[in-house]
Amino acid sequence: MSKTLADLEAVLNQILAEHRRLLTQLDAQQTAMKKFDLKAMASVAQFQEGSRIRLLSLDAQRRNLAAQLARDLRIPGEVTLAGLAKLHPARSQALLQLRREMRETIDAIRLRTNVSSRLANAVLGHLNTALRIFAGAIHKAGLYTKQGTPRIASRIGVMETIG
């Protein structure tokens, strides 16, 4: 087994571990959203951003190693894990297992992200409606007496109006 392939497997294991960490963070985010715990949501969001940055870095390493393997093996086009498994039968089982676990983890992340985004969209929709109602009330504001009753009359004195 080549050193590049071993490095690629190590990076893939790190990517899988980071995806699993992101999955647990998404579970924590959903729990915080259910409890409406703003501090926990903010904390989890920071952890998620760190995971995303690490995933971007690891993915860049993965791409570089895959490109290096493609050059070494003289493979045209993009190298896939299934293609590498065919070329390296001794490591095929491990590579295909990594691919399967990554797909399952990414699908679970996709599902949790979908639920969180739907909840966030619903909350933002309600806030948008409330702000539109408030803006409409301000736009069509009338005069109010000291007792708080709205009146539109020509005989309200300046000293009696508020607002």
Integer Cα distance of 15 and 132 in angstroms? 44
What is the per-residue pLDDT for 156?
A: 47
Domains parsed from the chain with CATH numbers: 3-151 (1.20.58)
Residue 160 has pLDDT above 70, yes or no: no
Residue type, 5: L
Q: In 3-state terms, what secondary structure has residue 144? A: strand
Integer Cα distance of 111 and 27 in angstroms? 11
How distant, in Å, are the alpha carbons of 2, 7, 16, 44 from that of 24? 34, 26, 13, 10
The tens digit of pLDDT for each residue in 10-69 reads 999 999 999 999 999 999 999 998 898 989 999 999 999 999 999 999 999 999 998 898
- Give me the mean pLDDT over the 59-85 stretch: 87
| Number of residues written out for the chain | 163
| pTM summary value | 0.73
